[in-house]
Chains A and B, each alone.
Chain A
Amino acid sequence: MLVQRRPDISPSEITPKGVFENRRKFLQAAGIIAATGIGGTAFVGAKPARAVMKLSVRPSPLSVSETPTSLKDVTTYNNYYEFGTDKTDPSETADKLKTRPWTVAVEGEIKKPKVYDIDELLKLAPLEERVYRLRCVEGWSMVIPWDGFSLSELIKRVEPTGKAKFVEFTTLADKAQMPGVGMAVLKWPYVEALRMDEAMHPLTMLTLGLYGEALPNQNGAPVRVVVPWKYGFKSGKSIVKIRFVEEQPKTTWQLANPREYGFYSNVNPEVDHPRWSQAKERRIGEFGKRPTLMFNGYADQVASLYAGMDLKKNY
């Protein structure tokens, strides 16, 4: 049953189509200018105020009714090691990232491999605003209104073959735009992966925005994945490649420390990180700690994916 929990977007919040299209043209023109180098210094040197692209989104029945974390906290406190290991680093250093032009190569065990342009992805399916819980493996959490659609919309279009058992997501790794990539803290590029049924689950989201606007750079612009029942690091950011494979891929944190970070990394209050407890979490903006919920509160929807599996072993 679809329950409409959130009111429709108010008309005042919707950008008039003309303005929207003009902005789009401006961005495209800017992209061309930057790419061809015409008037390069003039454009780059001017450093215009953050070009905010409003998205027209519709509310989603998959949203939770909890209070969203403030946009300021969402955009100034997060992990994105390509931009530095401090949680304030991404907001300070991600402004150099150029998100246009941007393409995502979809390849591997599929019948219709294709290189998607970011603007094509934005129009692939109607954008929904989904308010999801986010639980970081470090013990803090947020509630974020993400904008996008189920990843399955894309997967269906590329027609996976019978050999496609896993989906692998590769993040951009460009030293010139990402200061953290110069450090050897992780093996670059960042690679994450999901089992096919996890990737096809309606909750798994191909995300292009948050709070009704195009994704801020520090949050994984221009396109990322959001898997709300897994620890945050499972949701790859700034994706340049989506590959369908037969063997379970080696993911970045798993390679970095296999004892601490498993392939599944489902939120689970009963399975502790070897160095700290996962029983509780600090919701950003709240004073006390709250208990962490099984599968981050999405057990009803996703527990069946792991029926019969020992979650202590498959952490």
Chain B
Amino acid sequence: MVRLQPTPRQIQWIKAAVFTVCLVPVARLGWLAAHHGLGANPIEYITRSTGWWTLTFLLITLTVTPLRRLTNLNWLLRLRRMLGLFAFFYVCLHFSIYIWLDQFFDLTSIGKDIVKRPFITVGFGAFVLLIPLAATSTNAMVKRLGARRWQLLHRLIYLIAICGVIHFWWLVKKNINEPLTFAALLAILLLIRLAFRARKSAAPTASQKSVTRSQVA
């Protein structure tokens, strides 16, 4: 099998290209805003759009590892941090719009929302949990934490993605098609991981069940 292994220089170019593509959703919002294209309720539109892209980037980030495993294209891993940070970028926009344009820094009202509205609680929780991951995304931080602890911390991404999808699910009034699609894709991405795990620990079939179960828990 031919191994596609770009040179470091090529990887730089790929990264630059991916970076540019990742900015398209926010550029589009800017363009629409300048051309009265955000509809009758622009704030809702921007909030929905940045939320949608946060979930999308979370799922894309979670696709990197299985894709690498399945294709043996190890260099894909070099893109993972950037994709994860774009998820963080879009959630920051999403959250800022909520506290600024939606709530106008009305802290009591925001506090009430977080405590009283389960969909906001779970969304806010996911946002807060993503902060340490973004903060420890540099190589220096990986070194400082040690690979094992770093990896353990970054497993939070599974919980964050689940919370993100629940956040979307709970906010829609009736038509759950879109949150359902996100949930299905996320389920596939998580199940692939379980399958990998199960195969890795391979060996006796008797212990396999308990491994799977402990991972689900």
A-side residues, CB < 8 A to B, are 72-73, 76-77, 81, 85, 87-88, 138, 140, 183, 185-186, 256-257, 272, 275-277, 279-280, 282, 284-285, 287-289
Contacts and interface: CB of A to CB of B under 8 A. Distances in A.
Contacts of A257: 174
Mostly, the B contact residues are helix
Given A81-B174, A185-B174, A289-B104, A140 B41 contact: yes
A275 B170 contact: yes
Nearest to A72: B40
Interface in B143-196: 170-171, 173-175
A287 B117 CA distance: 23
8 contacts: A77-B39, A77-B40, A183-B175, A275-B119, A277-B109, A277-B113, A279-B109, A280-B109
B112 interface: yes
A227 B28 CA distance: 39
B118 interface: yes
B117 A85 contact: no
Contact of B173 (A72, A138, A284): A138
- Interface footprint category on B: 20 to 34
A185 B175 contact: yes
Given A183-B175, A186-B174, A282 B41 contact: yes
Interface of A is mostly: loop
A188 to B, nearest CB: 13
Contacts, number: 48
Nearest to A84: B175
Nearest to B42: A287
A219 to B, nearest CB: 13
A277 B116 CA distance: 9
B43 interface: yes
A280 B104 CA distance: 12
Contacts of B101: 287
Contacts of B119: 275
A87 B175 CA distance: 12
A315 B76 CA distance: 54
A256 B174 contact: yes
Contacts of B117: 275-277
- Which 9 pairs from chain A and chain B are nearest by CB? A77-B40, A85-B175, A73-B40, A185-B174, A284-B40, A185-B175, A140-B41, A276-B117, A284-B41
A256 B102 CA distance: 28
Nearest to A233: B173
Contacts of B118: 275
Among B40, B41, B171, find the residue whose CB has the most chain A CB atoms closer than 10 A: B40
A85 B104 contact: no
B45 to A, nearest CB: 10
A288 B104 contact: yes
A85 B172 CA distance: 10
Contacts of B40: 72-73, 76-77, 87, 284-285
B52 to A, nearest CB: 13
Nearest to A289: B104
Given A185-B174, A275-B119, 9 more contacts: A73-B40, A77-B40, A87-B41, A275-B117, A277-B116, A277-B117, A282-B44, A284-B41, A289-B102
